[in-house]
Amino acid sequence: MDGKTFKNAVISGANNIINNKTEVDELNVFPVPDGDTGTNMSATMKSAFVELSSTDDGADIGAVADKAAGAMLRGARGNSGVILSLLFRGLSKGLAGKVAASPKEFCTALEMGVEAAYKSVMKPTEGTILTVSRKAVEAAVLCAENGGGYNEVFGALENAAEETLKKTPDLLPVLKKAGVVDAGGMGYLHVIRGMRSVIDGKGVIELRASGREYAAVVTNAAGVYDADIEFTYCTEYLVRKNKGANDASALRAVLESIGDSVVVVDDDEIIKVHVHTENPGKALEEGLLFGTLTGVKIENMKEQHKEEAKKAEQQMKNKLPPMSPEEEYGFVSVVSGAGLEALFTDLGVNRIVRGGQTFNPSTEDILEAILATPARNVFVLPNNKNIILAAEQAQKLAEDRNVVVLQSRTVPQGVSAMLNFDPGVSVRENSVRMTLALDKVETGAVTFAVRDSDFEEKKIKKNDILALENGKLAFVEKDVTRALLKITKRLVTGESSYITVIYGTDVSDSAAQDAFRQLRAKISENIEMVLVNGGQPVYYYIVSVE
């Protein structure tokens, strides 16, 4: 395999996970609005797509792999995205210095990727993307050792990934309870399938119309976007076929003569059409010869790419400039919501990275905030279990200062850690103090169900109110206030002394104050309580009990 083939395979893998990201997102275990595995893996692969789109086709495979892996590491979002980036990082190390790679050499490099991914996780959990990738690579290695070529190797890789994915519910009980396979493993399978399309000679899988938002290459010149697009209009429609309509191959032939990216799917009653063309009217007229049209959608791709260019330019302008590490201590916190941002700033946090549930910041986002903090020692508060790995990768990339990533998994834990910081003691002592503070906080949350579900014998309907206790589903309710009262009372013990109730953007001030009054009446007067307008999305309430 040479550099051009590998480049196209990675781009095809990126396009395929982007095309299927919604399917992967919907595999979240709990029916709460946190299904972002597909989005995170898509964003991670998009980073490779962007980098490789401007890479010379004549580059060696080692150089291409290094560029892809570096971009993915910085663009990695969420645990699944970080693990995916590490799989490619290990692969790039195995291909380093190679002009091209034999199947055996490529499989050895794949093994290095799996090893790197496992090492990155403190307590690897089987039944996840780790297991799926390991079993897939083991099959590929065996195939290569038996003389298999690239077609056979990628066939073994995909087949083993698919078979292992089916078994993930047996390896991880929480998946079986939810009736789903592992989302990260499914995302990995989509990447491998995309890559295999190139290896098997079928070409790069193209982005569907819904995935084009991910495809714009970051540039400072909007005109470059126009030059890259031969046909302006993405045209899609369905044809409800007339009785006795001709075979759709004639329609396909005409569309191919007036554009590219032609997809014509013909069944007994409907023809589905997609084409990039300069003449969408002609494309529609040809469809009318076969029946009536519905679901017509015409989009100007050049205009879309111009908008993406403008967004990219604005993002570049908004980047935080690096600052010299002159102070002793500094802090970076990941949080979402104007009230929570203000709270952490008041507690002494230098830089806020906007993100949290459903929106995980990238390694690059966190690194930028670290480098913009003027301190020799920077504490990072991820405040979400799915952001910790990305923060740890940013920690490794910040070479000119000491970075400590605290394992804060919730916003209340992050607040508690900041309250326990002591500027008069050493970095090590503060790390211990702040880490111990994390375990003294019980966290409750009230949110809503995004789909019907049956979890642990709990019948859940879409839009039901869900209460979480330290990240685990506690009970289902119909009323937000009742859920708040019940989850808080569950968290309170005889040793509790302080309760913070943080209300989100979907709760009015008056509703929050009324709920707080009801809660105050049910809680011991010996426990201090405070109400905070956090302005956070997703969660109606976040409750901290210390």
pLDDT per residue as tens digits for the range 316-331:
556 788 899 999 999 9
CB 398 within 8 A of CB 377: no
pLDDT per residue as tens digits for the range 63-74:
999 999 999 999
Q: Per CATH, the architecture of 443-545 is what?
A: 2-Layer Sandwich (3.30)
| 3-state SS assignment for residue 416 | helix
Provide the whole-model pTM. 0.76
Mean pLDDT of 160-167: 96
Mean pLDDT of 512-529: 94
Q: Please give the structure tokens belonging to residue 6.
A: 């590998």
pLDDT at 180 (0 to 100): 84
- When the candidates are 3.30.70, 1.20.120, 1.10.150, 3.30.160, the CATH number that belongs to 223-308 is 3.30.70
β-pair partners for 149: none
Min mean pLDDT across 438-442, 447-451, 457-461, 464-468 is at 457-461
Determine the Cα–Cα distance for residues 494 and 319; give it in Å rounded to an integer. 47
3-state secondary structure 320-365: CCCCCCCEEEEEEEEECCHHHHHHHHHCCCCEEEECECCECCEHHH
Confidence of residue 54 (pLDDT cuts 50, 70, 90): confident
Residues 6+ apart with CB under 8 A from 122: none
Confidence of residue 249 (pLDDT cuts 50, 70, 90): confident
Domain boundaries, the chain: 3-212, 223-308, 316-438, 443-545
CB 391 within 8 A of CB 367: no
Min mean pLDDT across 24-33, 75-84, 326-335, 480-489 is at 24-33
Residues in the chain: 546
Please name the fold of domain 3-212.
Answer: 1.25.40
Between residues 344 and 307, the one the model is more confident about = 344
Q: Are strands 351-354 and 327-335 parallel, antiparallel or unpaired?
A: parallel
β-pair partners for 362: 77
pLDDT at 497 (0 to 100): 92
pLDDT at 216 (0 to 100): 42
C-alpha pair distances (Å), 272 with each of 193, 211, 268, 283: 23, 18, 11, 12
pLDDT at 292 (0 to 100): 94
Determine the Cα–Cα distance for residues 117 and 342; give it in Å rounded to an integer. 36
Residue 30 has pLDDT above 80, yes or no: no
Determine the Cα–Cα distance for residues 123 and 406; give it in Å rounded to an integer. 16
- Homologous superfamily of 316-438: Phosphotransferase system, mannose-type IIA component (3.40.50.510)
Determine the Cα–Cα distance for residues 273 and 88; give it in Å rounded to an integer. 35
Min mean pLDDT across 24-38, 39-53, 517-531 is at 24-38
Determine the Cα–Cα distance for residues 184 and 40; give it in Å rounded to an integer. 10
pLDDT at 227 (0 to 100): 42
pLDDT at 367 (0 to 100): 96
Mean pLDDT, the chain, as a whole number?
88
Give the Cα-Cα-Cα angle 451, 452, 453 (nearest 5 degrees). Answer: 110
